[in-house]
Amino acid sequence: MLAAIMVIAAAALLGAFAPVRGGNCWSGMSRNGRCMDLIQEKVTREQCCALTAAGGSHGASTAWSEKDMDAGMLFFWRVLGDGVPCQACRDSCAGVTCGAGRRCAVRWGRPQCVCAPDCSRKRLASLYNPGAAGVASGTSGTASATTYAGPTAGPVCGSDGRSYRSACRLLKRACRRQDSNLAVAYAGTCQSSCERVQCGPGRSCVQDQNLSPHCVRCERRCPSAGRSRAVCGADGTNYPSPCHLREGACRAGKAIPVAYRGRCQRVATCGAVHCRRHQSCLTDMATGAPRCVTCSLRCPRAGAGKSTAVAAAGSAARRHGGSRVAHGRRSSGGGGGARIRELVSLDAATELVQGGPLCGSNNRTYLSWCHMRKDACATGYVIDTKHSGVCSAGGQDQDAVDESRPGKDPAPHLNAVLEGNTFA
């Protein structure tokens, strides 16, 4: 009886892992000759290799494994067996079409689609004219009549706040990371102010709340607005609408946060203003004026992925009297697209990733703008950016905030800033 049960169990076990007729199609083969990313099950080699033969990123590296496997066997090979043994569909680039910005190259004996962006002079010069869709003015209009043939050689500052040796290097990084938002912010290395930034014709340099510079188009016509659209700027000025505030900020060359909706009150307090839902009211310690801000932010995590800039910031902090720096990412300024609507009317919610380390107006060092805002929300008082980088060693600049294991950053790019922080 026991022997019969064991035979039945063995048969069931073999049946559970028995291969089914057909084969598996994979998107690519690793260097060890094994596959991990499944495209389709129960297909022949001919069917698999024809799936993307007409083009696409998988056309060069498609692979096939002979035996179709059930979920249990697939799990075993992919997780415990370091991949499924497979056969490449092609051994050359013949007939492979990789698509725009890529080309086929034989690597490790197998064809692959690799990044090869168009780095012609015409293409590189066009990178300095991203306003073809009117993004700078927040409209869907046509391109400006003034175009700027930017330099085709030399370093550039990317919209991610990184300096690149050339615009072509930036294009390659955007391709490898599949980041369609990464663009040239301006020519030259990234700066921490507008002082050395040269923008093209029709563009002006505006510093955001991190004091990071951006080249944007200021020309826009704000429609007349009723009293209900009025906002009070953090500079104490009345603006007929958020559009007029953005216009004024662009002329001033510096972002102006919206303090609260409605006209500025002569003696305003947090008890007298009504903030939007999910916003909190903070008090400006210098003026006593209220400011509505968004406090529900999750800041970048600290960990193994710190950039060299952060390590340098830590070293700088130690040189400045041993002050500690809160968690964040880059010390370089600059970057960002040209969406003036999203740039100059924020209540400081720009460049959460590449904005730090920063020295706050309370003389404390923060590793990013996000951490500075979190501390402001915890204290109930406005903290603005005093300057980029760690606070100096003199006087009260010894203080620093030490954030503990913050969460994921909500805004990886300037064009993905928190719209909830505007009243547009």
Domain ranges of the chain: 2-98, 308-421
Let me know: does 194 contact 253? Beta carbons within 8 Å.
yes
Q: Which has the minimum average pLDDT: 104-118, 145-159, 294-308, 338-352?
A: 338-352
Write the pLDDT tens digit of every residue in 283-309: 999 899 999 999 988 887 654 343 333
Q: Which CATH number fits domain 2-98: 3.90.290.10, 3.40.50.150, 3.20.20.140, 3.30.70.1230?
A: 3.90.290.10
Question: pTM value?
Answer: 0.58
Query: In this prediction, what percent of the chain has a pLDDT beyond 70?
Result: 66
- pLDDT tens digits, one per residue of 171-197: 999 999 988 889 898 999 999 889 899
DSSP symbols for 220-249: --PPP--GGG-EEETTS-EESSHHHHHHHH
Q: What is the pLDDT of residues 212-225, one digit of tens each?
A: 898 888 767 888 87
Render pLDDT for 1-29 as a digit per residue (tens, 0 to 9): 444 444 334 444 444 444 445 788 988 78
Q: For residue 423, what pLDDT band results from cuts at 50, 70 and 90?
A: very low
Within 10 Å of residue 52's Cβ, how many Cβ atoms? 20
Selected residue with higher pLDDT from 403 and 63 = 63
- Residue 116, SS3? coil
Instruction: Enumerate the H helices of 165-241 as residue ranges.
Output: 167-176
Per-residue confidence (pLDDT) for residue 151, from 0 to 100: 65
CB 318 within 8 A of CB 396: no
